[in-house]
C-alpha cells in the first residue's frame, strides 16, 4: 500500500514536470512482469498515460534511446518524461499478447500486425558480427563471434543440466553440431532487438502492435529474437511455432531460428532464474513453474 501511494505521488509529480494536464484518475495495471508497479492515468484533457515505477532498480531516463526509436520508426510508445526510477509514456491502446494467446483470441490479422511490428524493429540493421547493448544513453557495440558464444553457453549449462535435467545432457553434442551446421547464417548481419520478448511486453492494438519496456534492448541476430518469441508463446499454449500469418508480414522463417530457440531454452533453463523466482508471490511463482516445466518438456522433445 505504501509503495502504491508513493507511486501515485510520483505520477502527479512527473506529469506536472512534463507540462501535461493534471491527473484526474489513476488505476494499477497488472500482468506486465515481476518488478514494476504500473499506473494507467487519465489526464484532465482525456489523454491517457502510463507510469512504470521500478524503485528497486533505478536507471537513467532513456532520453537518447527513446529518440533513436522514434527516429527509426520502431514500434514503441513515446517517452513523455520520468526520472531514474520511473518512466512516463504515452498509453498504448490494446491488449497484452500474453492475454490474447492464453485466451485463444489471437486472430490472423493480429498475428500479421505483430509480424509487421517485428519487421519494423529488425529493419534497423548493423554489420555482421557486430553486437552490443542499447542503453538509455545510446549504443555500445563490439565485434563478436555468435557461433563461439553459443557453443560456450551450451558448455556452461552442462553441469546444471546434469543435476536438474540429466536426460538431455547426452544429446548436447547434437546441439553443438546444429550450431556448426548453421555457422554461416548465424554470423550474418545483426539488428536492433527488444531482447525481452515476454508477451506481456507486446501490446496488440486496434491500429498497430507496440513493444513496451525497453530496459534490456541490444543489438544481435534477429532470428534469436524470433526464437525467443516462439518460445514464450509455446510456454503459454504449447504452440510449436509462430503461425504462418506472423511470417506473412515479418518475412520467411529462417532455419537458424531453430538453433537459437534450442540454445535459448538450454540457457534459460540453466540460468538460475527459476531458483530466484521461488521468492516471488504465489501467483507469479506458479507462472514461473509453468515456464520451467514447459522448457523441460521442449528440451526433452527436442533433445531426445
Q: Which CATH number goes with the domain that contains 264?
A: 3.90.1200.10
Kindly indicate the confidence band of residue 157, based on its pLDDT and cuts at 50, 70 and 90: very high
Query: Could you tell me if 61 and 108 lie in one domain?
Result: no
Query: Could you tell me if 100 and 36 lie in one domain?
Result: no
Q: What is the pLDDT of residues 88-106, one digit of tens each?
A: 999 999 999 999 999 999 9
Query: Could you tell me if 150 and 226 lie in one domain?
Result: yes
Kindly indicate the confidence band of residue 287, based on its pLDDT and cuts at 50, 70 and 90: confident
The per-residue pLDDT for 267 is 96
Query: Could you tell me if 293 and 145 lie in one domain?
Result: yes
Q: What is the mean pLDDT of residues 169-174?
A: 93
Query: Could you tell me if 7 and 102 lie in one domain?
Result: no
The per-residue pLDDT for 1 is 42
Mean pLDDT estimate for the chain: 93
Q: Which CATH number goes with the domain that contains 35?
A: 3.30.200
**Of the residues 70, 91, 112, which one is the last residue of a structural domain?**
91
The Cα–Cα gap between 137 and 5 comes to 30
Query: Could you tell me if 234 and 196 lie in one domain?
Result: yes
Between 211 and 213, whose confidence is greater? Answer: 211
Query: Could you tell me if 50 and 124 lie in one domain?
Result: no
Find the domain containing 20 and state its range: 2-91
The per-residue pLDDT for 89 is 97
Query: Could you tell me if 196 and 263 lie in one domain?
Result: yes
Query: Could you tell me if 70 and 108 lie in one domain?
Result: no
Kindly indicate the confidence band of residue 57, based on its pLDDT and cuts at 50, 70 and 90: confident
Segment among 7-11, 57-61, 153-157, 181-185 with least mean pLDDT? 57-61
Backbone Cα Rg of the chain:
20
Q: What is the mean pLDDT of residues 118-130?
A: 97
Tally of structural domains, the chain: 2
Query: Could you tell me if 201 and 116 lie in one domain?
Result: yes
Query: Could you tell me if 82 and 103 lie in one domain?
Result: no
**Of the residues 42, 61, 91, which one is the last residue of a structural domain?**
91
Query: Could you tell me if 50 and 150 lie in one domain?
Result: no
Amino acid at each position: 500500500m505504501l509503495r502504491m501511494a508513493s507511486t501515485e505521488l510520483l505520477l502527479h509529480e512527473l506529469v506536472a514536470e512534463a507540462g501535461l494536464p493534471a491527473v484526474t484518475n489513476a488505476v494499477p495495471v497488472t500482468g506486465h512482469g515481476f518488478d514494476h508497479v504500473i499506473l494507467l492515468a487519465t489526464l484532465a484533457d482525456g489523454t491517457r498515460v502510463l507510469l512504470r515505477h521500478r524503485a528497486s532498480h533505478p536507471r537513467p531516463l532513456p532520453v537518447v534511446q527513446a529518440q533513436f526509436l522514434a527516429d527509426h520508426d520502431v514500434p514503441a510508445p513515446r517517452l513523455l518524461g520520468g526520472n531514474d526510477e520511473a518512466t512516463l509514456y504515452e498509453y498504448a491502446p490494446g491488449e497484452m499478447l500474453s492475454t490474447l494467446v492464453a485466451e485463444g483470441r489471437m486472430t490472423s490479422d493480429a498475428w500479421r500486425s505483430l509480424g509487421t511490428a517485428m519487421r519494423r524493429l529488425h529493419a534497423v540493421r548493423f554489420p555482421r558480427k557486430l553486437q552490443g547493448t542499447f542503453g538509455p544513453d545510446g549504443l555500445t557495440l563490439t565485434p563478436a563471434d555468435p557461433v563461439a558464444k553459443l557453443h560456450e553457453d551450451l558448455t556452461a549449462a552442462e553441469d546444471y543440466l546434469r543435476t536438474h535435467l540429466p536426460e538431455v545432457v547426452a544429446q548436447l553434442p547434437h546441439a553443438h553440431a546444429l550450431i556448426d551446421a548453421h555457422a554461416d547464417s548465424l554470423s550474418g548481419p545483426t539488428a536492433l532487438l527488444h531482447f525481452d520478448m515476454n508477451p506481456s511486453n507486446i501490446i496488440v492494438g486496434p491500429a498497430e502492435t507496440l513493444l513496451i519496456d525497453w530496459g534490456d534492448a541490444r543489438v544481435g541476430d534477429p532470428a534469436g529474437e524470433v526464437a525467443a518469441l516462439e518460445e514464450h508463446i509455446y510456454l503459454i499454449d504449447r504452440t510449436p511455432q509462430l503461425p504462418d500469418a506472423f511470417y506473412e508480414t515479418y518475412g520467411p522463417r529462417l532455419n537458424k531460428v531453430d538453433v537459437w530457440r534450442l540454445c535459448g531454452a538450454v540457457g534459460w533453463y540453466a540460468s538460475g532464474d527459476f531458483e530466484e523466482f521461488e521468492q516471488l508471490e504465489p501467483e507469479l511463482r506458479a507462472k514461473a513453474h509453468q515456464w520451467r516445466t514447459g522448457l523441460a518438456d521442449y528440451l526433452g522433445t527436442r533433445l531426445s
